[in-house]
Amino acid sequence: MKIQPTKKTKFIFITGGVLSSLGKGLAAAAIGSLLESRGMTVTFQKLDPYINVDPGTMNPFQHGEVYVTDDGAETDLDMGHYERYTNAVMAQINNYTSGRIYYSVIMKERRGEYLGGTVQVIPHITDEIKRAVLQLDGTVDVAIIEIGGTIGDIEGLPFVEAIRQLRGDLGREYTLFIHLTLVPYIKTAGEVKTKPTQHSVKELLASGIQPDILMCRTEVPLNADLKKKIALFCNVEPESVITAIDVDSIYEVPLRLHEEGVDDRILEKLGIWTGAPHIRPWQELVHKIKNPKHTVTIGITGKYVDLKESYKSLHEALVHGGIANEARVELKYISADELESGGGIEQLEECDGILVPGGFGSRGTEGKIRAITHARQNRVPFFGICLGMQLAVVEFARNIAKLEGAHSTELDPGTPYPVIYLMKEWFDFRTGKTEVRDENSDMGGTLRLGAYPCRLIPGTLAARAYGEEEISERHRHRYEFNNEFRERLEEAGLVVSGTSPDETLVEIVELDDHPWFLGCQFHPEFKSKPMKPHPLFRDFIRAALEARQAQKERA
Ligand code: GLN
């Protein structure tokens, strides 16, 4: 494959060793934020070794949240870290899986593009990977490429081979290899162990990659002697051995890495000259997080109560809402199944605000609806997101508008009042086409995905939160508010506060005679950042704080 580098973009490749879940995505995001703080432009790419074409069809239990981008890509949750820590905007080209790479190679083969040749992992798959990476060449100063999985995994090999080749193609001054490993602390011995790191670097060397910088995840700071030892065995300079210490808040990571000099090392090795870093905003942020003036408890009623990774962005957006209000947000996951079987009310009573997040499938539905009834009747601030909004509409229809048995057709196809249903035909603003779909359409194809404009009705909670008339938010759902019931529900008191510009899609609903009750069809959590908390999360947390205050005064 012929490569003509633009000589504008430098590439940092991040691999992981020893074991997974060391926080490679966070490390990549933090490095991006440090480079931005020095005036550089950055972007990211995640290369995931699994065979699914994208994580859209994967169970969040296994893979964590599916993160949605403006352009409607269903991506790995690391995209969320990248966007939260930097100004980079992620899209389809920022996340590739083995499946997607193979898919395009196989399509080419079927079209006869390989002219009768034997199609092989090297060079055809590796070239396709390189092509994917090089799409970023010329777009920014630094592109940070994260290789999913752990060095030594069979399935990651083509990616490792591709980045090895890229060093040759692009040149030393345009490429940098960072390897993230674990330096475990062994309690009984009272010391940290470097052997796993040595082994993992050896494994990387066997693939032809000598790391330039080692980032070592550890519970205790590595002293100079240890760094020297690791440096010696792994063939790097002692200054290039970076302690990646465990932190209380993930937003401390940029600061800790900066103290270790990681940005200096990167810039030096890539031959980049920049001004001094502007890390004040991160210091102020961490100070705020660590010194909250208030505490607030938010109950989340969902299907995946056990696995925080499934609600990554949601969790972060709530933390951001807390930051905006100088509050620490305590999250209480309440099992919808438990509520469904009649228990758990006392848990709801301990919450200052209740949130029903997005979800698919019927498990725990009646439990979630019970949580919504509780919030509505007891004037507890309520925030419904996607499925949470749909169920708020169902709850209102059943209990206030007296449409007995009202439901979403996703959850009860035979409901007499399908207040949430599958819109057969709708005009897609994003594609400029009228989309047609029904129950038999291809599963993935029928989702409304990505950013859509929404017009807000002045004077509503939504309009006051955003302070704007038209907004854009990201969607990932099939079912929609059924306009056939709009008048009846509005007459009964439901406030439609946001719609698509042509008014065919209801995007936000609220209640008037309630301190704060709002449901939105989109996922605002994908656009919240610690430095720029999302207005809906900010206002929801504020309302919850006020509710807590009022409760205290009554007591
Ligand atoms: N299951 C619902 C739908 O498809 C909601 C999806 C979601 O919450 N993301 O419309």
Q: Whose CA is nearest to atom 5 of ligand 1?
A: 387
Instruction: Tell me, in angstroms, the distance from the centre of ligand 1 to residue 388's CA.
Output: 9
Three-class SS state of 216: strand
* 66 CA → ligand 1 middle, Å: 13
Say yes or no: CB of residue 314 within 6 Å of ligand 1: no
Active site residue 520: no
| Pocket residue to mutate for ligand 1, from 66, 365, 386, most atoms within 8 A of Cβ | 386
pLDDT(514) > 80: yes
What CATH code would you report for 292-554? 3.40.50.880
Q: Which of 7-11, 360-364, 434-438, 487-491 has the lowest mean pLDDT?
A: 434-438
Of 258, 407, 475, 523, catalytic: 523
- Return the pLDDT at 60: 67
Q: Is the pLDDT of residue 388 over 60?
A: yes
Ligand 1 binding pocket mutation candidate from 365, 410, 423 (most atoms within 8 A of CB): 410
Write the pLDDT tens digit of every residue in 428-442: 777 777 777 766 655
d(CA 375, CA 517): 8
CA atoms of 192 and 298, how far apart (whole Å):
38
* Strand locations in 423-533 (E): 425-428, 433-436, 448-456, 470-477, 480-481, 494-499, 506-511, 517-520
Distance 385 CA to ligand 1 centre (A): 9
pTM of the prediction? 0.93
pLDDT band for position 156 (cuts 50, 70, 90): very high
The residue among 162, 233, 165 whose CA lies nearest residue 200 is: 233
Token pair recorded at residue 375: 């919030």
Give the residue among 55, 85, 210, 74 at the shortest CA–CA distance from 148.
55
Q: Does domain 10-284 have CATH number 3.40.50.300?
A: yes
Q: How far is CA 291 from CA 249, 283, 286, 319, 394, in A?
A: 12, 12, 8, 13, 40
Average pLDDT over residues 47-52: 92
Identical fold for domains 10-284 and 292-554, yes or no, is: yes
Mutate to test the pocket of ligand 1, among 390, 423, 475 (most ligand atoms within 8 A of CB): 390
- pLDDT of 61 reads 67
* Ligand 1 centroid, distance to 171 Cα (angstroms): 46
Q: Across the chain, what does the average pLDDT equal? A: 92
Spatial distance between the Cα atoms of 315 and 410, rounded to a whole number of angstroms:
26
Spatial CB neighbours of 50, under 8 Å, sequence gap ≥ 6: 97, 98, 99, 148, 155
Q: Are 496 and 457 in contact (CB under 8 A)?
A: yes
- Match 């002692």 to its residue by tokens: 238
CB of 386 within 6 A of ligand 1: the answer is yes
CB of 481 shorter than 6 A to ligand 1: no
Residue 51, number of CB atoms within 10 A of its CB: 13
Assess whether the C-beta atom of 477 lies below 6 angstroms from ligand 1. yes
Alpha helices in 329-364 (DSSP H): 336-340, 345-349
Tokens at residue 522, please?
């989109």
pLDDT of residue 306: 59
Give the residue from 396, 418, 421 showing the smallest Cα distance to 407. Answer: 418
What pLDDT is stored for residue 441 in this prediction?
Answer: 59
Respond yes or no: is residue 386 known to be catalytic. yes
- Indicate whether 468 pLDDT > 50: yes
Which residues fall within 8 angstroms of residue 453, CB to CB, at 6 or more apart?
429, 470, 471, 472, 500, 501
> Measured at the alpha carbon of residue 367, what is the angle toward residues 363 and 370, in degrees to the nearest 5?
150
The DSSP H or E segment spanning 548 is helix 535-554
Domain ranges of the chain: 10-284, 292-554
Q: What percent of the chain has pLDDT over 90?
A: 80
Q: SS in 3 state form for 92-137?
A: HHHEEEHHHHHHHHHHHHHCCCCCCCCCCHHHHHHHHHHHHHHCCC
Q: Strand locations in 342-493, DSSP E?
A: 353-356, 382-385, 407-408, 418-421, 425-428, 433-436, 448-456, 470-477, 480-481
Counting from 1 in the atom list of ligand 1, the atom nearest the Cα of 357 is 8
Report yes or no: 218 and 182 within 8 Å, Cβ to Cβ.
yes
Tokens representing 510 are 């609220």
| CA terminus-to-terminus distance, the chain | 73
pLDDT at 444: 44
DSSP state of 357: -
Q: Is 523 a catalytic residue?
A: yes
Q: Whose CA is nearest to atom 8 of ligand 1?
A: 358
Residues 305-362: pLDDT tens digits? Answer: 556 678 899 999 999 999 999 999 999 999 888 888 888 889 999 999 999 999 888 8
SS3 338: helix
